[in-house]
Amino acid sequence: MEEKPQVLQPINRLERLGRSNTSQKGGKFSINDFEIGRPLGKGKFGSVYLARTKEGHFHAAIKVLFKSQLISGGVEHQLEREIEIQSHLHHPNIIRLYTYFWDAKKIYLVLEYAPGGEMYKQLTIKEKFSEPIAAKYMYEIADALSYCHRKNVIHRDIKPENLLIGANGELKIGDFGWSVHAPSNKRQTMCGTMDYLPPEMVSGQAHSAAVDLWAIGVLCFEFLVGKPPFERQHQAETYAAIKEAKFTYPEYVKRGPRDLIGKLLQVDPKKRLSLDGVMNHSWILAMIETRQKAEKQQQLEKTASLRNH
Ligand code: AMP
């Protein structure tokens, strides 16, 4: 049976989409409490804007969803569940959902603002990431997912399109789980494949938290190579390759990352490396050390040059 992400604690429920909550007790905010800035992006059911509170000038990203579109898409209950989940996740590598409110036509989600923008865009610009950057992101996503899994929350849709970058260059899982039910069609329109699906989902079998382990294996490959391992011309070929975990590495992918990816891309979900195993993998640790050393060196050089002036 499919393992359902647990709803952690009920919060004010979005039961009556037809009503406005701005006048209700407990509805702390309304759109009038915010100054709305530039658009940050567009999703399937609405747009995201940079915003700040009129009082205190606190920055946030506000996602504006149209009730009519949610209802015609049949996803209003899904949204409610995802809001309940995301609002209880507090982790440095997960976008916080601070609050939400609604009026007659729209629902507003007040989210932590990720100034670095979309991971997908960064990857497109850079084509691929260096080993230290990829390893750092892998550590961060494993840490975030480990936190989620401890709370019985499975993401099920990890891919660069669902990741954002924070103020300090850190990875942030955005839009928690919601994208499972309202898939962004960026990748589908690009190549018509579902590159991150694990073998158990492709075969229509039961799935567990191990789906996220498979997905971060695909992600690590894409970070280092610039495209996912099972990308093929036809969807049927992709699915066949996924079922057998059949893929090849470009020559430049070194032994360390190959070892990690290979241990995650296991057809048998039980054989996949654990999230702890990812965070303690020798390549991840070595790359993090390399990065820290380089940063320390840069800092020393900066201090020395300041002293010399
Ligand atoms: P979504 O509806 O979640 O797919 O969001 C549409 C687009 O808005 C994303 O692709 C991002 O470019 C942008 N966006 C969404 N959430 C945030 C956020 N918290 N911080 C910055 N940009 C965001």
- Best residue for ligand 1 mutational test, from 164, 184, 188 (most atoms within 8 Å of Cβ): 164
How high is the pLDDT of residue 260?
98
Instruction: Report pTM.
Output: 0.86
Distance in angstroms (rounded) separating the CA atoms of residues 27 and 48: 21
Residue nearest to atom 4 of ligand 1 (CA): 43
CA 95 to ligand 1: nearest atom: 19
How high is the pLDDT of residue 23?
40
pLDDT at 183 over 60: no
How high is the pLDDT of residue 190?
34
Q: What's the farthest any 2 CA atoms get from each other in the chain?
A: 67
Residue nearest to atom 15 of ligand 1 (CA): 48
Q: Is the CB of 175 under 6 A from ligand 1?
A: yes
Query: Domains in the chain and their CATH numbers?
Result: 19-111 (3.30.200.20), 117-293 (1.10.510.10)
Q: What is the pLDDT of residues 257-297, one digit of tens each?
A: 999 999 999 999 999 999 999 999 999 999 999 989 988 99
CA 114 to ligand 1: nearest atom: 20
How high is the pLDDT of residue 45?
83
Q: What is the pLDDT of residues 84-109, one digit of tens each?
A: 888 889 999 999 999 999 999 999 99
**Distance from residue 73's CA to the centre of ligand 1 (Å):** 20
Active site residue 212: no
Residue nearest to atom 11 of ligand 1 (CA): 41
How high is the pLDDT of residue 85?
86
**Distance from residue 262's CA to the centre of ligand 1 (Å):** 31
Binding site as annotated, residues: 44, 63, 112-114, 161-162, 175
Binding site as annotated, residues for ATP: 44, 63, 112-114, 161-162, 175
Per DSSP, the three-state class of 1 is: coil
Q: Is the CB of 262 under 6 A from ligand 1?
A: no
How high is the pLDDT of residue 27?
53
Cβ atoms within 10 Å, residue 192: 11
**Class of residue 25 by CB neighbours under 10 A (exposed 0-12, middle 13-18, buried 19+):** exposed
CA neighbor of 30 nearest in space, from 40, 41, 18, 20: 20
Distance in angstroms (rounded) separating the CA atoms of residues 12 and 142: 30
Catalytic residue among 143, 157, 195, 212: 157
Average pLDDT value for the chain: 85
How high is the pLDDT of residue 129?
97
Q: Is the CB of 41 under 6 A from ligand 1?
A: yes
Alpha-helix runs per DSSP H in the chain: 67-72, 76-86, 119-126, 131-150, 178-181, 186-191, 199-202, 210-225, 235-244, 255-264, 275-279, 282-308
**Distance from residue 41's CA to the centre of ligand 1 (Å):** 5
Q: What is the pLDDT of residues 208-256, one digit of tens each?
A: 899 999 999 999 999 999 999 999 999 899 999 999 999 999 999 999 9
CA 42 to ligand 1: nearest atom: 6
Q: Is the CB of 42 under 6 A from ligand 1?
A: yes
Q: Is the CB of 174 under 6 A from ligand 1?
A: yes
